[in-house]
Structure 1
């Protein structure tokens, strides 16, 4: 069982659960297929599991490390954004929504995605390698974002929160909409979702 699944905190964990999306942060593993570093570059992306019939052995030597996510909401909470090669349409939607949701940066359609990656890098992990969070009220958060309660990750959906696990979501909980919560999804990602990016997440138990 390889250490190649990502949770909403951005941690790379080992689990038997399978993922719906593939991710890339560069080459993170060594010869023994063990994780040596949390990332290598600032372009943390979300890819299709299959693209143009490409096939490769997981964690092959000297190649980027394949990471996997339960759903896109989990990937975005960790700080990943859609890939411009295998998910061109989603990537364009994401960039347009990110620009609408974050006008304070003065970016436009001609701005290279690397500039957005630099913003995301500051929002997802600090200089000590710790997850960056911010506070908001529950009612300020769009569906598909993640919050932290009691050191666990919860998905926000339909004014309810759902406990995350590598295998899916547990039964819902309801908390007052004006409750201040710790947000795991990077701030500019939250703004992009608010601005219309249709983040995918698995069905939840009611």
Structure 2
């Protein structure tokens, strides 16, 4: 059994200790915001924070996370109010959304270290692959989130000009069902009661 703190909750995974953290989070803890992209650490879709550092969850096992603190996209903000999330929407830097959770995690980690990064620092800290090509808007969004975090700017929750709230709601595609669990990754996650 591998024990760690996930999104500020103590959790025990009853799975093979060599199970990648990605599959423990998705299949046992039902935290499906962390995405499977390539499985070899290249795309960044599975990025989570482990002890405050962004790591590819497909490359780290639950045994390696024993006793550590893990934060997924769900734990970053349960209401999408994190400045990075707000800035990505405001700058229209989200297309299909598949890579977005990993990008948000990397951007949040960067801004926690440096709330005023330049373009080169942003590109270095967020090497995630985005097939939709949001990179120029992504840089603007991270810089804008930094300004919000420095209290130099606020972001309105209103939809983009000319778009009604109803139009925005209809534009969000229905989610396809999640694929079946990967072979060999069955297990459970159990909340550990606080003492």
For normalisation by structure 2, the TM-score amounts to 0.26
Instruction: Give the greater-gyration-radius structure (CA).
Output: 2
Please identify which structure carries the higher strand content: 1
Please identify which structure carries the higher helix content: 2
Higher relative contact order (CA 8 A, sep 6+): 2
For normalisation by structure 1, the TM-score amounts to 0.25
